[in-house]
Homo-oligomer: A and B are copies of this chain.
Amino acid sequence: MLDEEKITRAIVEEYLDSFLDHTSVEVGLAGAGPANLVAAKKLAEEGVKTIVYERKLNVGGGMWGGGMMFPRIVVQKEATRILDDFGINYYEYEDDYYVANSIESVGRLASEAVQAGAEIYNLVKVEDVLIREDDRISGLVLNWSAVDKAGLHVDPLAIKANVVIDGTGHDAEVCRIVEEKIPEADFNVLGEKPMWAEVGEKALMDTTREIYPGLIVSGMAANAVSAGPRMGPIFGGMLLSGEKAAEIAIEKL
Contact = CB atoms under 8 A, between A and B. Distances in A.
A28 interface: no
Nearest to A229: B131
Interface in A53-84: 57-62, 64-74, 76
Contact of A7 (B132, B146, B233): B233
Interface string A189-203: 001111111100100
B4 A197 contact: yes
Most chain B beta-carbon neighbours within 10 Å: one of A19, A91, A194? A194
Nearest to A88: B111
A143 interface: yes
A155 interface: yes
Contacts of A180: 191
B104 A114 contact: yes
A58 B61 contact: no
A222 interface: no
Given A146-B147, A157-B232, A201 B67 contact: no
Count of this chain's copies in the oligomeric assembly: 8
- The interface centre, meaning the residue of A11, A139, A153 with most chain B CB atoms within 10 A of its CB, is A11
Nearest to A62: B153
A130 B195 contact: yes
Given A158-B7, A194-B177, A232-B7, A114 B110 contact: no
A103 B59 CA distance: 8
B143 A68 contact: yes
A240 interface: no
A5 B144 CA distance: 17
A234 B107 contact: no
A60 to B, nearest CB: 7
A75 to B, nearest CB: 10
Given A71-B122, A144-B146, A181-B193, A10 B93 contact: yes
Interface of A: 1-16, 19-20, 23-24, 57-62, 64-74, 76, 87-89, 91, 93-94, 96-97, 99, 101, 103-112, 114-115, 120-123, 128-132, 139, 141-147, 149-160, 169, 177-178, 180-182, 191-198, 201, 229-230, 232-234
